[in-house]
Structure 1
């Protein structure tokens, strides 16, 4: 949609408002005259739409000229709209009034759907119903990748409802098809067994005081500051969810690394073992880092697919801070999880951030700040409890 068309639509909304106002004042004749202007503008809008469709005909996907590559398929109009919407979003964040023309930009941006991960809810003075712009969403994701985000190792399912259920097949032994003789009747076979898995996303959030001096600064500084805060908080939140879910597993004592090998080779299903990883804390990693084979070579190897990453026996090693996944210092054990976490855990996510701001509520007025409230909605469930083994690995030095 071109800027001209958006301006026409904004004028149309304004004119319809005038008609409603005249009707409420019992000025039917004046309202009818103004309606003639509305009808004329509607015809002009239809012609403008047809003209723009003709101009875009045959140029790329969906009749729009494509720019760039990869997953970012967008037209020149999309790029222009993204830039305009970002300016409106920042006005809303700064709690400035939004004009009728800017509201048409909001409406068009929401229709375009580049399916955004974010949402924002503002105040009554202008910054209402603003979703987080796609480029800011990208910045938030870049921040999350700077940390160990455990949600990348589990299955994340984006949902649109606040609650729901899934049906999963129960693990069972499969019997082969029986032999069928010629002209013999084909017998019934055992039916698959299913069980329901329900979810209900939970709202979590926090408040970030933004100094009004920061909001008066450049757009880039505001975006960077907010993106950093949301990115760090979202990683901390999801890591907590994943680790809490892992701690619901039954703990298994592991005297040495041979016990870990047994978990991979015997306890786990072979299909699960092939795609499994090893998750541990700093103490567990230090133990693994000192393991050697019969020839004195270290078992821990560099993962050429991940710069700085490590592997052991072909299994990716993921390390988290001791503060997040604590060792048992009395028992001399470190936690170690072996398995396929994507088969073990599913994280149901609304996949957006809701943002609202105030200068009067809470302590904002006393501090001369604008308080930004960020909310996210997730739920986490165990999908297949047999897809991983949680061990307490003995890391006491051997004499």
Structure 2
């Protein structure tokens, strides 16, 4: 941002403050006259910003400093400044025009405006995407909460709807034998499956007490990121499990039945990359199985302490509360979940806050709203088997 634009923004904010002062004193005539100056200054700001953006584009995306010279702005510095503005907005403090320019610059450079946020945010309001440094913390926490999206194919998209064409694992015919100087014939074509998606908006709100908002930035960020991570992981897990439950269940009486799924029901390429997804009951049954010499069937995964392997395949465990058993049958999904489904994720969480809406006004709190957008689409149904494992205790 050049010094010319910064000076114009300062004049614009000062003129707006004068208009607000006239309105507070019920001086509508003076307010109207001052608004003419505000409109003129706003026009100058827009033209100056457009001029600088054109110059930036002509310089390959590099910024201009106060003297109008080329400057490569430090992204970490911009990230820190943007994060401060987000926290300021969550606390319902006014956002100046200069701060809005930082928001626009950050979203253009860092997230390419994928959150489709509105740059004309009212004072004290916020409807902007979560900063990337906080995004990273959220994603890390989601893994800690056993986010099942780590086991499926995730594709980040920027459009609300669209389609993808994915190759199908179909039967192939071998290349034909050709004599010397013989004519090479056409071979069979790859098989593709079109997949359409339409992202859906999923949201929730969290009341923030004034005590929490008055706390330091680190505590506020920690509280908010933890809440978003838990809600996002649970939301994703719910939809992933709902899609898995659409498969036709197959009874699995014992370990031999599980072996048959891996050896026969699944394609060898799928079987080699398969995982076993079950609940606490299913994992407990598997963890108590031993071979003829009394050695546990499950092996420790030395690359990830605490995780178990069944014949080299990792086991993912979901709580009984989120994936319940049915009587003496525990769910056991076996296969390559990355081939089974695609999670179309419209990247980045979006935040907004209010002190006036909902119960916030009556409770003297601030409500934080979080929005995420995604869709869950089945790809290859043959890549996963839905087993119902018989966990009846043996006498």
Rate the CA distance shift 1:361–1:196 in 2: closer, same or farther, 3 A.
same
CA distance in 1: counterparts of 2:2 and 2:379, whole angstroms: 47
Quote the offset at 1:7 in angstroms. Answer: 4.9
CA distance in 2: counterparts of 1:117 and 1:323, whole angstroms: 34
Quote the offset at 1:140 in angstroms. Answer: 1.4
CA distance in 2: counterparts of 1:276 and 1:288, whole angstroms: 16
2:27 equivalent in structure 1: none
How do 1:306-325 residues align onto structure 2 when only pairs under 5 Å count? 306-325=304-323
Quote the offset at 1:228 in angstroms. Answer: 1.1
Rate the CA distance shift 1:207–1:314 in 2: closer, same or farther, 3 A.
same
1:80 equivalent in structure 2: 77
Quote the offset at 1:112 in angstroms. Answer: 2.5
Q: Deviations over 1:114-159 (max 9, x none)?
A: 6698786695224345321122212212321221111111111100
Quote the offset at 1:6 in angstroms. Answer: 5.3
Question: Normalized against structure 1, the TM-score is what?
Answer: 0.82
Aligned partners of 1:123 and 1:356 also within 8 Å: no
SS of alignment partner, residue 227 of structure 2: helix
Q: Does 1:361 align with 2:357?
A: yes
Aligned partners of 1:10 and 1:100 also within 8 Å: no
Q: Does 1:210 align with 2:238?
A: no
2:329 equivalent in structure 1: 333
SS of alignment partner, residue 352 of structure 1: strand
1:154 equivalent in structure 2: 152
Aligned partners of 2:115 and 2:347 also within 8 Å: yes
Quote the offset at 1:196 in angstroms. Answer: 1.4
Rate the CA distance shift 1:347–1:13 in 2: closer, same or farther, 3 A.
same
Q: Does 1:94 align with 2:91?
A: yes
CA distance in 2: counterparts of 1:93 and 1:240, whole angstroms: 29
CA distance in 2: counterparts of 1:95 and 1:119, whole angstroms: 21
Quote the offset at 1:49 in angstroms. Answer: 6.7
Quote the offset at 1:183 in angstroms. Answer: 3.2
Structure 1 unmatched ranges of 5 or more: 54-63, 65-74
Aligned partners of 2:2 and 2:68 also within 8 Å: no
Aligned partners of 1:116 and 1:352 also within 8 Å: no
Rate the CA distance shift 1:295–1:49 in 2: closer, same or farther, 3 A.
farther
Structure 2 unmatched ranges of 5 or more: 16-31, 56-62
Which one of 137, 140, 151 corresponds to residue 138 of structure 2?
140
Q: Does 1:264 align with 2:262?
A: yes
Aligned partners of 1:132 and 1:353 also within 8 Å: yes
Q: Does 1:378 align with 2:374?
A: yes
Which one of 343, 349, 364 corresponds to residue 345 of structure 2?
349
Rate the CA distance shift 1:257–1:230 in 2: closer, same or farther, 3 A.
same
Q: Deviations over 1:261-291 (max 9, x none)?
A: 0000111111111111111111111111111
Quote the offset at 1:166 in angstroms. Answer: 0.9
CA distance in 1: counterparts of 2:65 and 2:333, whole angstroms: 63
Quote the offset at 1:171 in angstroms. Answer: 3.6
Aligned partners of 2:2 and 2:65 also within 8 Å: no
Question: Normalized against structure 2, the TM-score is what?
Answer: 0.83
How do 1:95-244 residues align onto structure 2 when only pairs under 5 Å count? 95-113=92-110, 124-244=122-242
Q: Does 1:285 align with 2:283?
A: yes
Aligned partners of 2:2 and 2:67 also within 8 Å: no
Q: Deviations over 1:175-231 (max 9, x none)?
A: 011112233332222233333111101111111111122212211221111111111
Aligned partners of 1:117 and 1:353 also within 8 Å: no
SS of alignment partner, residue 168 of structure 1: strand
